[in-house]
């Protein structure tokens, strides 16, 4: 089952770059406009590692969801700031492991909602739903998700690359409000840009983005990102470069770090 509101196509602005469409471009998708490609290419010139980083973050999502749906037994996922469907979306990864998994996607871009209706299908045993809401309004997210998810049972809250768009400390309150509504046994999956490998390139990327977008973002340090996990049990190996969160076995040692850190924590 897939359900959700009918998007208003007239709301789609193809003159302003949008992070979901730029991310789709970096991931090798097809759902972007010229302005998104131009900004994406400009960011890549100042930060040549960004495409590798984007794909590393998607690989982190896959490994985290496989762990949660498998070993941790999670059957409910709330994916906020999902972006445009590409490959190995949260519901696809989760339902390969657990066909009865229930997934709610959240975004506020009309183009995302348009493609979600067409592409975010579900297994017969499970549910895929999507809602039009902004991360800055956690109560609206929780109200919308409550029709699909049972908040008396554990939920995995997915926040990958989206919290940087809340540029002040209210971001901590937003994440805390979402986690407070979820029962013990729930998990937080979080990743975002950080100055790990090439700090100046990451700073340049943010400057370029903020000069061209009406959806600004901020860099946070690893220590600032750790605060989002306060009060939870941060699972091994902790908050690390997304390439180094439980990587697949490699013949030549650990994978190279990228300028994006991620972690998974359990609410006890």
Predicted local distance difference test score (pLDDT) of residue 251: 63
* Contact by Cβ (8 Å): 109, 20: yes
Q: What SS3 class is residue 15?
A: coil
pLDDT, tens digit (0-9, with 9 covering 90-100), for 70-83: 999 999 999 998 87
**Between helices 110-119 and 19-26, what is the axis angle to 10°?**
50
Nearest to 268 by CA among 184, 188, 202, 208: 184
Per-residue pLDDT tens digits for 18-45: 777 787 788 777 778 888 888 888 888 8
Cross-strand partners of 76: 102
Pick the CATH number of 17-248+255-265 from 2.40.30.10, 3.40.50.1860, 3.10.20.340, 3.40.50.150: 3.40.50.150
Domain boundaries, the chain: 17-248+255-265
Contact by Cβ (8 Å): 97, 66 = yes
Alpha helix (H) residue ranges in 120-182: 138-145, 170-180
CA distance 47 to 49: 5
Position 170 scores a pLDDT of 97
What separation in angstroms does the CA of 131 have from each of 63, 93, 110, 148, 194? 25, 20, 11, 11, 29
Residue stretches of the chain with pLDDT short of 70: 1-13, 85, 117-120, 249-252
């Amino acid at each position: 089952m897939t359900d959700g509101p009918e998007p208003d196509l007239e709301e789609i602005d193809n003159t302003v770059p949008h992070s979901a469409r730029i991310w789709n471009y970096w991931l090798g998708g097809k759902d972007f406009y010229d302005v998104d490609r131009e900004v994406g290419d400009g960011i890549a010139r100042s930060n040549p590692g960004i495409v590798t980083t984007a794909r590393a973050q998607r690989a982190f999502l896959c490994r985290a969801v496989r762990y949660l749906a498998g070993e941790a037994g999670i059957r409910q996922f709330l994916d906020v700031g999902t972006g445009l469907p590409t490959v190995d979306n949260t519901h696809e990864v989760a339902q390969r492991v657990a066909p009865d998994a229930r997934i709610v996607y959240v975004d506020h871009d009309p183009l995302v909602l348009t493609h979600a209706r067409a592409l975010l299908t579900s297994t017969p045993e499970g549910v895929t739903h999507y809602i039009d809401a902004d991360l800055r309004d956690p109560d609206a997210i929780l109200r919308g998700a409550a029709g699909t998810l049972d908040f008396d049972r554990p939920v995995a809250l997915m926040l990958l690359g989206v919290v940087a768009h809340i540029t002040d400390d209210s971001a901590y309150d937003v994440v805390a409000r979402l986690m407070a509504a979820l029962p013990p046994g729930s998990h937080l999956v979080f990743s975002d840009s950080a100055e790990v490998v090439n700090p100046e390139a990451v700073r340049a990327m943010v400057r370029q983005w903020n000069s061209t977008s009406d959806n600004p973002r901020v860099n946070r340090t690893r220590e600032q990102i750790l605060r989002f996990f306060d009060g939870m049990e941060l699972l091994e190996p902790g908050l690390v470069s997304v390439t180094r969160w439980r990587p697949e076995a490699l013949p030549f040692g650990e994978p190279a770090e990228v300028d994006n850190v991620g972690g998974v924590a359990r609410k006890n």
